[in-house]
Amino acid sequence: MGKQKKKGQSGQAKNYITRTQAVRKLQISLPDFRRLCIFKGIYPREPRNLKKASKSATHSTTFYYTKDIQYLLHEPLLGKFREQKALEKKIARSLGRNEVQDAVRLEKHGMPKIKLDHIVRERYPTFVDALRDLDDALSLLFLFANLPSTTEVPAKVISRCQRLCHEFEHYLIATNSLRKSFLSIKGIYYQATIQGQDIMWLVPYKFVQRVTQDVDYRIMGTFVEFYCTLLGFVNYKLYTSIGLVYPPKFDTASDERGAELAAFTLEGRQVAGSIAQTEEQQTITNGHAQNGNTEAMQAQIDKIAEDTPAEEDAKQDEQADDQPETEAIDTFTPAVPEGDTLPQLDLTSDEAARLFSNLTFFISREAPRHPMEFLLRAFGCKRVGWDKVLGEGAFTHDETDARITHQIVDRPAPTQPLPTFQGQESATDQTLQVVKPGFIMPGRIYIQPQWIWDCVNEGKLLPTNVYAPGETLPPHLSPWIKPTSGQYDPRATLEEQEAEGEADAAADEQVEEDETPEDVDENDSEDEASEEAVEFDEEIDAGGMDVAGSDDDSEDEAGIEDDTFAGFADDAALEESDVDEEAEHQKELEAEAAGRPVKSIVKGSDKNTKAIKARKIERAKKNEEVERQKMMMSNKKRKLFEKMEHSNNKRDVNAEKLRGKRRKLEKTGRR
């Protein structure tokens, strides 16, 4: 006989442990336990059967894996937490004895520092794993970078988040790794491709944030502490992979004056390696080097340039011209129009670097400066200027600079040309020419901010006349959602999406809605009178008044059912058409006598009604065919088909409603 198992010592009771038991086993407080679980990436688990996991468990009981808690027993941070707890007791004892200086000394010099480097290496064995988990880290750090400093969120944490986020943005600018962006209600979405990994994060708008008390900032602060360490590791790896020094030089005074990205200066690790790195260092700082190269560095660069003969460069250029281009991305086109289209690859870094490379932008002070500067510089623009009120670091603060090709404005359309200024060419930062509202600079293109985002998502420069100030902007759609067949597509025209006869039916409905109530009442009474007259004539033609329950009716009905000859149907249709024409002619005469406008689309409406009837008949035939095929299906397949049919009908109805709204908006716009 085998050993009998005791209840509660195997199975789920052994695999799961409650939070209270875990805290007692680790001998730490509940806040420290939460903090340790966040650092180590350990989350609560839900057993299949609560009573098997614990007899006294309820639905509010929190369970963890027993192996995870045993794994925490050997964590070095447990010793740090215990040292902090012992130090807090000493500080409290000193304050109780009124020894304030000793308490300050203990808190300043005796508090153990917690480092999370070993946890980052444990959770992310490879660099690709860290990149895959970077979405939430960037979203939370960008959120804290825009928060105001409070007692729950100190200014030191905010400045650290801002610095790490700006360093990451500088890497994207240097490598042209940014691919897409989208303006939403929550904020601005960005997507970058780094070493083959797509990373998407959300940046909130820079509005005045209200810090509420509903959020537990201690838990969020724990996540921020870990994510700051993670992003520091990632930034170091990214900078060193392209030959840049990390951390980059940071000018605190310039950052306090609103420089933001311009407060950083990127430097290469090896100057003698290549001249391209030094050129990149100069172009990264918005069109001009901030601090410049030293004399020794410049001498090494000149020496390398002289050692390279011009003949070798010419030979290399000729060989490059002879070789076919292999770096271009292949475009896959379907062999059959009805075939599936293969997904196309995104832009390369070279194409992204050339998008805005030949343009010079000026950002007006009403437009959001930082996201637009980041997008423009990430896609190759080296010269971005803005108003002096927005901060330092601009290519130019002079709005009348002749080198500016595009100006981004978010105000009503300027209509008056700017008068010429004397001494405009020699204007300096101290004597800037200010363009008054309502004036425009000749030879410059004025656009709204959405043009930048749409150009980035499309991968090409779009026409600027659609995005001119005062124009109705085209729909700004998410670049990650592609329109499918049957859904409403705001980019396509109504003619491309409408079903057959949908526009005619909508026109008939619009005509009925445009009629005045008086006309409707009069027309209804006239229609009723004409219908009664027609019915009376038909009864007379049939041989007198109909009497319910008579024998003649049953004989006539039986005769009609038996006889299938359809030769008189055309005559009946002709009679009906003649009666309709007479009634319509009578309506026209009465409308002229009463002074009402005469309808001019009577014939067209007749054609539309005939077409609608034909489509209804065809639709009925299709439905009959579908019902016949459904009878041949099994129950499982028929239910699945009905679900698909229901979802498709729901999608079609929603798309038709959206098309109807757009049709009304276009008509009101034309008027």
Question: d(Cα 280, Cα 266) in Å, to the nearest integer?
Answer: 9
Q: Which of 89-103, 181-195, 524-538 has the lowest mean pLDDT?
A: 524-538
Residues 132 and 99 in one domain: no
Residues 262 and 127 in one domain: yes
Burial class (CB in 10 A: 0-12, 13-18, 19+), 21: middle
Residues 260 and 138 in one domain: yes
> Looking at residue 399, what is its pLDDT?
87
Residues 188 and 66 in one domain: no
Q: Which of 54, 81, 110 is the last residue of a domain?
A: 110
DSSP state letters, 371-401: HHHHHHHHTT--EEEE-GGG-S--S---TT-
Residues 263 and 132 in one domain: yes
In a domain, 293, yes or no: no
- For residue 653, pLDDT beyond 90: no
Q: Which of 243, 269, 295 is the last residue of a domain?
A: 269
Residues 100 and 129 in one domain: no
Residues 160 and 196 in one domain: yes
Strands 178-183 vs 188-194: parallel, antiparallel or unpaired: antiparallel
In a domain, 609, yes or no: no
In a domain, 601, yes or no: no
Residues 261 and 134 in one domain: yes
Do 467 and 475 form a contact (C-beta atoms < 8 A)?
no
In a domain, 60, yes or no: yes
Q: Which of 89-93, 310-314, 433-437 has the lowest mean pLDDT?
A: 310-314
Do 457 and 182 form a contact (C-beta atoms < 8 A)?
yes
For 534-554, write each residue's pLDDT tens digit.
Answer: 444 444 444 444 444 444 444
> Looking at residue 286, what is its pLDDT?
54
Collapse the DSSP code of 323 into the 3-class scheme (helix H, G, I; strand E, B; otherwise coil) and give the result.
Answer: coil
Q: What is the dihedral of CA 643, 646, 652, 654, to 10 degrees?
A: -110
Do 364 and 410 form a contact (C-beta atoms < 8 A)?
yes
Residues 89 and 193 in one domain: no
> Looking at residue 661, what is its pLDDT?
82
Residue partners of 277: CB distance under 8 A and separation at least 6: 243, 268, 270, 271
Element (H, E) at 200: strand 197-203
In a domain, 650, yes or no: no
Question: d(Cα 227, Cα 161) in Å, to the nearest integer?
Answer: 9
- Mean pLDDT confidence for 399-427: 69
Q: Which residues pair with 199 in a beta bridge?
A: 192
Residue partners of 422: CB distance under 8 A and separation at least 6: none
* Angle at alpha carbon of residue 617, lines to 613 and 623, rounded to 5°: 140
- For residue 433, pLDDT beyond 70: no
Percent of the chain whose pLDDT exceeds 70:
67
Measured CA to CA in angstroms, residue 295 lies from 267, 290, 299, 307 at distances of 15, 15, 6, 18
Query: What domain range is 260 assigned to?
Result: 117-269
Amino acid at position 368, single letter: P
Measured CA to CA in angstroms, residue 429 lies from 268, 366, 399, 596 at distances of 31, 20, 11, 70
In a domain, 598, yes or no: no
Residues 125 and 264 in one domain: yes
Amino acid at position 375, single letter: L
> Looking at residue 450, what is its pLDDT?
95
Amino acid at position 106, single letter: L
- For residue 274, pLDDT beyond 90: no
For 561-619, write each residue's pLDDT tens digit.
Answer: 444 444 444 444 445 555 556 777 777 777 777 766 655 444 445 666 777 777 788 88
pLDDT category at 416 given cuts 50, 70, 90 is low
pLDDT category at 113 given cuts 50, 70, 90 is confident
Please, what is the average pLDDT of the chain?
77
Q: Which residues pair with 197 in a beta bridge?
A: 194
In a domain, 19, yes or no: yes
- For residue 303, pLDDT beyond 50: yes
Residues 153 and 186 in one domain: yes
Q: Which of 110, 129, 162 is the last residue of a domain?
A: 110
Report which of 362, 488, 33, 28 is spatially closest to residue 218, judged by C-alpha positions.
33
Residues 66 and 195 in one domain: no
Burial class (CB in 10 A: 0-12, 13-18, 19+), 168: buried
> Looking at residue 362, what is its pLDDT?
94
> Looking at residue 407, what is its pLDDT?
93
For 370-391, write each residue's pLDDT tens digit.
Answer: 999 999 999 999 999 998 888 9
In a domain, 315, yes or no: no
Question: d(Cα 214, Cα 152) in Å, to the nearest integer?
Answer: 12
Number of independent structural domains in the chain: 2
Residue partners of 373: CB distance under 8 A and separation at least 6: 260, 261, 363, 384, 386
